Amino acid sequence: MDSLLILVPAALLLGVMALVAFLWALRNGQFDDPDGAAGRILFDDD
């Protein structure tokens, strides 16, 4: 049972990190132009 005391918080921590990352990306405008971003990575600045 001791393992639960480490594993449950660890799992939750990872989940929270993903949630925070998503909310940050949303706020930062990363989802404003999903179609453009998909193509943009293919072009280098030549």
Partner 1 sequence: MTDAAFLSTAPPRTTAQTYCRHCGEPVRGRGDAEFCCAGCASAHAIIGAAGLGAFYRRLEERRAHKPAPLETDFAPYARAAGTSDYELDLLVDGLDCAACVWLLESLLARNPAIQRVRAHLSTRRLSLRWRGSADGANAHVGLVAALGFRPAAYDVVTVASDADQETRELLRCLAVAGFAAANVMLLSVAIWSGHDGSMGDATRTLFHFISASIALPAVAYAGRPFFRSAISAARARRTNMDVPISIGVTLACLVSLHETWSGQQHAYFDSAITLLFFLLIGRYLERRARGRARQAVRALLALSSRSATVVAADGTLSQRRVDQLDTGDVLLVAAGERLGADGVVIEGRSSLDAALVSGESLPQSVEPGAKVFAGMVNLGASLRVKVTVASQHTLLSEIVRLVEAAEHGRSRFVAIADRVARAYAPVVHATALLTFLGWLVLGGLPWDRSLLIATAVLIITCPCALALAVPVVQVVASTRLLHRGVLLLSPTALERLAKIDHVVLDKTGTLTLGRPELIETNAHGEALAAAAAIAANSRHPLAQALMRAVPDTVPADGVVEHPGLGLQRGEVRLGSARFCGATNEIDDGHSELWLARPGERPMRFAFADRLRSDARDAVEALKRRGLTVELLSGDRAVAVARAAHEAGIERWRAETSPAAKAQYVAHLSKQGCRVLMVGDGLNDAPALAAAGASISPTTAAEATQNAADAVFQGDALQPVVEILDVARRADRLVHQNLALALLYNLSAVPLAILGVVTPLIAAVAMSSSSLLVIGNALRLGARPLAKEVR
> Judged by CB under 8 A, does residue 1 bind partner 1?
yes
Show the site string, 10-39: x = touches partner 1 by CB under 8 A, - = not: -xx--xx-xx--xx--x----xxxxxx-xx
Nearest distance from C-beta of residue 6 to partner 1, angstroms: 13
DSSP states of 1-46 as a string? -HHHHHHHHHHHHHHHHHHHHHHHHHHTTTTS-HHHHHHHTT----
Residues of this chain that bind partner 1 (CB under 8 A): 1, 4, 8, 11-12, 15-16, 18-19, 22-23, 26, 31-36, 38-40, 42-43, 45-46
